[in-house]
Amino acid sequence: VNDPAVRIAREPLEEGRVIRFAVQLDGVRRGALALRWHGQVRAWLDTCRHQSLPLSAPDGHVFDAGAGELVCDRHGARYRPDTGECTSGPCRGAFLTALALEERPDGTWCTGRGGPAGLAP
C-alpha cells in the first residue's frame, strides 16, 4: 500500500511543541505526534507500547518539556523524544513506531513509516 504523504504544518515546527496529526499507515488511519527537540524533528505514532493506547491525554498534553520526555497519559510510561525509547514505566526498553518527516519549502510533511537513520523502524 502506498500511503499518501500528509502535510502536518505549513511553518517549521517549533522547538518543544508537539503537533498531533493523523496519518494513513497501510490504509489505516492512525494518530501521530511530531515535535522538534534540540533542533531535530521527529514523529511517532501516538500509540503506547504498553497497551497500544494513545499516549496523549484528551486535552492533547503528552510532552513534559521540563523533563524532555513524552509521557503516556494512561500509566505514565516515559519516552525519549529523539529515539522513541521508553526509559521508564511498564514498557521500559520498547520503542515507539517512528514516522518519517520531511521539511520542505512548503511545510513539514509526514511521508509514512520510517525514521532517522539508525533508529528502529
List Cα–Cα distances, 119 to 53, 56, 66, 70, in angstroms. Answer: 22, 22, 24, 17
Using the rule CB under 6 A, is 90 a contact of ligand FES? yes
**Among the residue ranges 31-39, 56-64, 74-82, 95-103, the one whose residues contact ligand FES (CB under 6 A):** 74-82
Taking residue 81's Cβ as centre, other Cβ atoms within 10 Å add up to: 24
Convert residues 10-49 into a mask of x (bound to ligand FES by CB under 6 A) and - (unbound): --------------------------------------x-
- Least spacing, CB of residue 96 vs ligand FES, in Å: 11
Q: Where on the chain is the footprint of ligand FES (CB under 6 A)? A: 48, 50-51, 53, 72, 74-77, 89-90
